[in-house]
A = this chain, B = another copy of it.
Amino acid sequence: MNTDKNINNKFFELKQECPKTKARLGALHTDHGDIPTPIFMPVGTQGTVKALTQRDLRELDAKIILGNTYHLYLRPGNDAMSYYKGLHNFMNWDRPILTDSGGFQVFSLQELRKISETGVRFKSHIDGSMHVFTPESVVDTQRIIGSDIMMVLDECVPYPAEYEYVKESAQLSLRWAQRGREHFLKTEPLYGHKQFQFGIGQGGMFKELRIENLKGLIDVDFDGYSIGGLSVGEPTEVMYEMIDICTDVLPKDKPRYLMGVGTPENLLESISRGIDMFDCVMPTRNARNGQIFTTRGKFNIRNNKFKLCDEPIDSGVGFYTSEIYSLGYLRHLIMTDEILGLQLASMQNIAFYLWLMKTVREKIANNEFYEWKKDFLASWGAKNEDNK
């Protein structure tokens, strides 16, 4: 796909590489706009990034957001999504959208799903109705959603897992990826804008399985490659090791997306290891629990010390609500379970994550990434209440 076109029409453009780490500066070009990388993608599970309006997201300068195929397939459902001519139109968002395949959610259902060569049969968590996802059907659903970037169906293996199980699972995921790619190439976008498809590497915490699986995916030739099945409970160092192994195998001219990760530290360390794209519910979910990420560290806003505190939430991230509202007001809103508390905390945390990625891009561009990352992690981490 696209690799034979000139650079301006290329989906992924590699602009610069860090001389001291594997960090990369790049850009994804989609019909809904360009996405500079490294990038963090706020998660909009059910067609909304929780507690934010689409205008907030635009003002926060989110370049791309996520949608979850499993949730959107169940509600509003493919009939509705088709009626509304896709998710962009449905939710009033004209920038890029990436969707997962729904596999991750289905496999989280545990008792409610049954896997076979064909695909996965599962029970809706909402009404108990039975459904089947196949490598082909998730492509069709993502055609109906109209995401700019779609994912193949894969099995996300739990941690820890036996070698044999992980091996067989990764082989099944690879066969599904082949079928998914075939179906993708046989079908067309429905709404006039281009769609791209990523394969997802699996293989648990076994180096050779990771490598073997990725090589199989590379042979299929996707528009980009995701790394799945990490941050599932393994030690952080093991995760970093797996990422390093994967990015050594992956082609330089394709984007790399680490799914569902993670903390600010995880992002910086993964960027160092050559990752371009991230998504995680952490900034929004933790916001709703009162955990605030700021340029001066992360903390829980419920702490009594913020009761009398008229400092701005964070004057460092360049977002208006974080500048005009005080930590004391935010604490009051969270303590009284006010919806505005969820809104302001979510805005702050997304602002922080996007600020972090923007700063990373500037530092890579100026060849300062390695030193800056070391300093930032030392000073930012030291300021956190809970440095886990």
Contacts and interface: CB of A to CB of B under 8 A. Distances in A.
Interface of A: 46-48, 50-53, 71, 75-76, 79-80, 83-84, 90-92, 307-308, 310, 321, 324-326, 328-329, 332-333, 335-336, 338-340, 342-343
A76, A91, A339 — which one has the most chain B CB atoms within 10 A of its CB?
Answer: A339
A68 to B, nearest CB: 11
Contacts of A307: 76, 80
Contacts of A308: 79-80, 83
12 contacts: A46-B336, A46-B338, A48-B339, A50-B340, A51-B340, A51-B343, A84-B326, A90-B332, A92-B325, A92-B329, A339-B342, A339-B343
B329 A53 contact: no
A329 B91 contact: yes
* Interface class of chain A by DSSP: helix
Quickly give the copy total for this chain: 2
Contacts of A342: 339
B53 A328 contact: no
A178 to B, nearest CB: 34
Contacts of A52: 340
Contacts of A343: 51, 53, 339, 343
Nearest to A126: B336
B326 A51 contact: no
